[in-house]
Copies of this chain bind each other. A is one copy, B any other.
Amino acid sequence: MASDRGRKSTIYDIATSTGTSPATVSMVLNGTWQRYRISEATAARVLGAARDIGYTTNMKARGLRLARSGLAGMIMPHYRNRFFAGLSETFEAGARARGFCPMVVSTQRQPETEREVVERLLSHQVEFLFIVGVARPEPLNDLCHAAGIPCVNIDLPGANAPSVVSDNRGGARMLTDVLLDKIAAADRGTGGTAGEEIHFLGGVAGEYATEERVAGFREALAARGLPLRDDRIHPCGYSPPVARRAAEDLCRRLGGMPAGLFVNSITAFEGAVQFFQSLDRAAFHGRFIGCFDWDPFAAFLPFPVTMLRQNVEAMIEQGFAYIEQYRPDEFPMTRIPPRFGPVAGDVRNA
């Protein structure tokens, strides 16, 4: 029954066809008609016509009039891992539950794209913006402020907006402790000092998340009185190919796998695993690998990997909380503890 002739129908069409006025139609459609004492009969007539004609309200016009777009914006690097995919999906569900239409766009970590996309989203009048995984979010925060739009930084913090991040330091500490425990258990009785042989691979020196994780890693060692030489830290970046090479170099230098390997991020892990494929399975005997991130397939690799799963739901909830209580002059930060994901080889956890 849709009038697919010509253009989309408007409240004027409905007013004409029902012998009422645009104002009446508007009130009926908005459900405010009883407040305006519109007769039940008129309301029913209008509603029926709207249904028959397949009317949908033009949000552009309503938004213009009301200065409320109904749009909720988010930018993020990409969707190619479970962490980012989960953040998007959770954000979308949260936005929808709050009556907004989610608008999430990926920017591939390109600062220029990030800026352009934010400007675009602002042009489209998003009512608030989640900024995910941006290394330097401050310029974007400023753009939002200039437009009078609340925003939050997720995953990577920034000075000019509230931020919610994983507890990177605490998580790294947890993960390192697990690796050290396993090494110690394997060492038991041999009096080994395997703690010295634990290495940290991946991430970017000077970047917030990496520095925090390195700090947690150091803490765990320090707590056991284990030494840590700087040459055990290899912040080779996040790209799989360079992580692959870094892992290879490391093993060549050591003459084999280190007793423990803390891999920072799933993408670095992907690279490292490419190299591990070339190793004999025996190379992993008594060696323990940890990854600060989780992936369902990575859980099924042929050697044991302990994985940390960031708490996506809690991060997004906190983001909405910050938006809802937004104060343009206070930029707190909250750290959400990650949890252990299923452990490879341990089917019960899968």
Q: Which residues of A approach B to under 8 Å, CB–CB? A: 2-4, 6-8, 54, 56-61, 63-64, 67, 69-71, 78-80, 82, 84-86, 88-89, 92, 96, 101-106, 108, 113, 117, 119-125, 142-143, 145-148, 240, 270, 273-274, 276-278, 281, 295-298, 300-302, 345, 347, 350
Write out the residue numbers on chain B whose beta carbons fall within 8 Å of the beta carbon of A121.
101
The answer, among B92, B106, B276, for a CB contact under 8 Å with A89, is B106
Write out the residue numbers on chain B whose beta carbons fall within 8 Å of the beta carbon of A79.
79, 84-85, 88-89
Contacting pair B273 A297 (CB below 8 A): yes
Are A120 and B105 CB-contacts (below 8 A) given A300-B301, A350-B277?
A: no
How many angstroms between the C-alpha atoms of A79 and B91 in the bound complex?
A: 13
Are A60 and B54 CB-contacts (below 8 A) given A2-B146, A148-B4, A296-B270?
A: no
Copies held by the complex:
2
A278 CB to nearest B CB, Å:
6
How many angstroms between the C-alpha atoms of A95 and B91 in the bound complex?
A: 22
How many angstroms between the C-alpha atoms of A101 and B302 in the bound complex?
A: 43
Contacting pair B124 A106 (CB below 8 A): no
Q: For residue A144, which residue of chain B has the nearest CB?
A: B4
The answer, among B3, B4, B64, B96, for a CB contact under 8 Å with A61, is B64
Q: A60-B64, A104-B104, A301-B302 are in contact. List 9 more A-B contacts (CB 8 A).
A: A8-B147, A56-B147, A58-B125, A59-B124, A60-B60, A79-B79, A79-B89, A297-B298, A300-B301
Are A278 and B347 CB-contacts (below 8 A) given A88-B106, A101-B121, A124-B101?
A: yes
Contacting pair A274 B300 (CB below 8 A): yes
How many angstroms between the C-alpha atoms of A277 and B147 in the bound complex?
A: 53
